[in-house]
């Protein structure tokens, strides 16, 4: 004999994370856990939307009357800008967003929290970026947010690598608009040239066995961060650990932004 | 400090119940409970779709790659017929459906389980309809399904009332196609004329204080069923209890079809 589930009913408010693929996401259990700990009857769902259907499906998800917010992950963070009626300050600089929330007047507010999440994760592990040399891999939605948030910490230098050199150059320009004193360059990592390596590309996600650095040899003084949340130990993180580096996994970036995202969802409802 | 929710993650499969309004539905906790008891990582959500948005939103819900099935409730059971590529035998007779399920080839199968749920609920409370006089209120999606399922139990007579007399007449004809021996009539309830009163109209749902019989005086030998699930004690059920009648609430109809619906969802996946 079954028992009714005690965590969902007709009055449960819906939130979702939209991505393609979706099975790697951690926010359903983390954001839902945060709702529960605050005594709110709400749940965050994994929503797998194929790339070709994103435009129509995302527009129609917003019409569900008991759905109050969405998180966007790979590959939708830039395209999601179209879904917000007002754009928060971080998203404005970055040109991408990872969260939209319904407002009482029926409009939607958007913001990006990836960068805040990454910096918060590094700080929670005792790492300050100020005055340091940083290499960032990936200049997409998450990478741009991380680049901008790192710039606000005033590192000495920041090099940006992306498969698309123009995208890397565009992010480099944004970084210098935040802080012109940072020595910004575009290009691949030069072994030993930086204190931090931050991966914000999808290389190494799920079954992808590649290390985005292209080498498993990393000087042990390097702090290595990976934005990927599944697997917990990406090929990059595994190589870094083998080399004796300190590592910060993507799960901590998610944790660093969960509270901020739930605050944002709830603030916009007022 | 929050804990991660342990009942949802990136691999959770999604199902939903679509209605307008939605807060009265019971299937989120009941169907999800059934999934959990079978060891399946799946959840059934309440999805509130405003009537004017139903066509577009329902079509786009089907494009969500990790959404495998939908239940439809008031007022969408007839319109939902368009969403199924193949129609089950009950839905074919009734002209409405309350469940669609994704098949491995990407098509969708539809069926209606309301009638089976009602008859199962009555039997579980020890009531046989065979040879009895039955009055049915409401000839919409749920009412039609109940009328057809009741016909299969071979009552002596069945009167059907609906605000729309043509809809009532159409259901009466369907009932007689199932069993020409049943004395079928269309019209309001005549006090004391029947052994059973079955309400399948929305009258009495949520804050609606009306009794669909139009009178609170019901002979105590009458068995009274109400398909409404919220409130548990509708004005009709309350009047029947006050009169000393035996009553069967809508929650038992839901319970009577939960297992069948989950079977249907899982069978279609194979």
CA dist A180 and A183 (Å) reads 8
**Beta-carbon count within 10 A of A166 CB:** 10
| Minimum-distance CB partner of A10 among B20, B22, B50 | B22
pLDDT for A3: 78
Q: Compare all CA atoms of chain A with the CA of B7 and give the residue at the minimum distance.
A: A29
Residue A93 binned pLDDT confidence (cut-offs 50, 70, 90): confident
pLDDT for B3: 79
Q: What contacts A200, CB < 8 A, 6 or more positions away?
A: A114, A118, A136, A137, A138, A139, A140, A142, A143, A146, A227
Shortest alpha-carbon distance between residue A38 and chain B (Å)? 8
Q: Compare all CA atoms of chain A with the CA of B38 and give the residue at the minimum distance.
A: A2
pLDDT for A101: 98
Instruction: Answer whether residue B223 shows pLDDT above 90.
Output: yes
Shortest alpha-carbon distance between residue B83 and chain A (Å)? 16
Q: What contacts B105, CB < 8 A, 6 or more positions away?
A: none
Answer whether B7 sits within 8 Å of A2, measured CB to CB.
no
Instruction: Answer whether residue A83 shows pLDDT above 90.
Output: yes
Answer whether B66 sits within 8 Å of A48, measured CB to CB.
yes
Nearest CA to A147 out of A173, A124, A110, A127 is that of A173
In the Cβ-directed half-sphere of A177, how many Cα atoms lie within 13 Å? 12
Answer whether B56 sits within 8 Å of A43, measured CB to CB.
no
Residue A171 binned pLDDT confidence (cut-offs 50, 70, 90): very high
Per the prediction, chain A carries an average pLDDT of 95
Q: Compare all CA atoms of chain A with the CA of B35 and give the residue at the minimum distance.
A: A2
Residue B16 binned pLDDT confidence (cut-offs 50, 70, 90): very high
Chain A residues close to B4, C-beta within 8 Å: 29-30, 32-33
pLDDT for B2: 60
CATH 3.40.50.10860 intervals, chain A = 13-112+253-269
- B206-212 long-range contacts (CB < 8 A, ≥24 apart) are B206/B21, B206/B23, B206/B24, B206/B230, B206/B231, B208/B235, B209/B235, B210/B235, B211/B235, B211/B236, B211/B239, B212/B137, B212/B138, B212/B236
Answer whether B9 sits within 8 Å of A29, measured CB to CB.
yes
Tokens of A50: 């194929």
pLDDT of A197-207, one tens digit each? 999 999 999 99
- A79-85 long-range contacts (CB < 8 A, ≥24 apart) are A79/A54, A79/A55, A80/A18, A80/A110, A81/A110, A83/A58, A83/A59, A83/A108, A83/A110, A84/A108, A84/A109, A84/A110, A85/A109
Nearest CA to A133 out of A191, A193, A177, A223 is that of A193
pLDDT of A136-152, one tens digit each? 999 998 999 999 999 99
Q: What is the ipTM for the molecules in this complex?
A: 0.83
Chain B residues close to A20, C-beta within 8 Å: 65
Answer whether B66 sits within 8 Å of A22, measured CB to CB.
yes
Contact present, B132 and B196 (Cβ < 8 Å): yes
Q: What contacts A242, CB < 8 A, 6 or more positions away?
A: A216
Burial class (CB in 10 A: 0-12, 13-18, 19+), B158: buried
| Minimum-distance CB partner of A5 among B4, B32, B48 | B32
Strands (DSSP E) along chain B, which ranges?
Answer: 13-19, 42-48, 67-72, 86-87, 99-102, 108-111, 133-137, 157-161, 183-186, 196-199, 223-226, 246-248
Q: Is the dihedral of CA B161, B167, B173, B178 positive or negative?
A: negative
Chain B residues close to A23, C-beta within 8 Å: 10-11
Nearest CA to B197 out of B217, B183, B178 is that of B217
Q: Compare all CA atoms of chain B with the CA of A11 and give the residue at the minimum distance.
A: B23
CATH 3.40.50.720 intervals, chain A = 115-249
Q: Is the dihedral of CA B186, B188, B192, B194 positive or negative?
A: positive
CATH number 3.30.1700.10 is the correct assignment for the domain at B115-249: no
pLDDT for B81: 95
pLDDT for A102: 98
Chain B residues close to A49, C-beta within 8 Å: 63-65
CATH 3.40.50.10860 intervals, chain B = 13-113+253-269
Burial class (CB in 10 A: 0-12, 13-18, 19+), A105: exposed
pLDDT of A103-139, one tens digit each? 999 999 999 999 999 999 999 999 999 999 999 999 9
The CATH code for residues A13-112+253-269 is: 3.40.50.10860
* Cα-based distances in Å from B10 to A246, B101, B127, B170: 28, 21, 45, 46
pLDDT for B133: 98
What percent of chain A shows pLDDT beyond 70? 99
CA dist B132 and B128 (Å) reads 8
**Architecture in CATH of B13-113+253-269:** 3-Layer(aba) Sandwich (3.40)
Mutate to test the interface with A, among B64, B66, B70, B230 (most CBs of A within 10 A): B64
Answer whether A64 sits within 8 Å of B49, measured CB to CB.
yes
Instruction: Please state the pTM of the whole predicted model.
Output: 0.84
| Minimum-distance CB partner of A48 among B5, B22, B64 | B64
How far is the first Cα of chain B from the last one, in angstroms, to the nearest whole number?
42
Per the prediction, chain B carries an average pLDDT of 95
DSSP state of B17: E
Contact present, A148 and A175 (Cβ < 8 Å): yes
Q: What are phi and psi of B86, to 5 degrees?
A: -135, 140
pLDDT of B75-117, one tens digit each? 999 899 999 999 998 899 888 999 999 999 999 999 999 999 9
pLDDT for A2: 60
């Amino acid at each position: 004999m079954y028992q009714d589930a005690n965590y969902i009913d007709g009055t449960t408010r819906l939130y979702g994370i939209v991505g393609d693929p979706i099975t790697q996401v951690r926010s359903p259990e983390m954001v839902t856990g945060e709702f529960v700990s605050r005594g709110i009857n709400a749940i965050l769902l994994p929503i797998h939307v194929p790339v070709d259907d994103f435009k129509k499906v995302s527009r129609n998800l917003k019409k569900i009357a008991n759905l109050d917010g969405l998180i966007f992950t790979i590959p939708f963070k830039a395209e999601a800008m179209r879904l917000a009626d007002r754009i928060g300050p971080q998203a404005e600089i970055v040109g991408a967003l990872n969260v939209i929330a319904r407002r009482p007047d029926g409009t939607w507010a958007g913001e990006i929290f990836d960068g805040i999440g990454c910096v918060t994760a590094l700080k929670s592990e005792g790492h300050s970026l100020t005055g340091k040399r940083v290499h960032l891999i990936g200049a997409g939605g998450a990478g741009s947010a991380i680049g901008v948030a790192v710039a606000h910490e005033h590192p000495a230098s920041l090099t940006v690598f992306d498969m698309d050199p123009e995208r890397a150059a565009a992010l480099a320009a944004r970084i210098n608009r935040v802080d012109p004193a940072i020595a910004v360059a575009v290009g691949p990592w030069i072994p030993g040239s930086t204190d931090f390596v931050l991966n914000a590309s999808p290389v190494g996600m799920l079954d992808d066995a590649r290390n985005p650095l292209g080498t498993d040899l990393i000087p042990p003084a390097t702090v290595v961060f990976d934005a990927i949340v599944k697997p917990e130990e990406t090929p990059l993180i595994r190589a870094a650990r083998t080399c004796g580096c300190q590592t910060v996994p993507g799960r901590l970036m998610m944790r660093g932004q969960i509270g901020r995202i739930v605050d944002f969802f709830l603030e916009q409802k007022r």
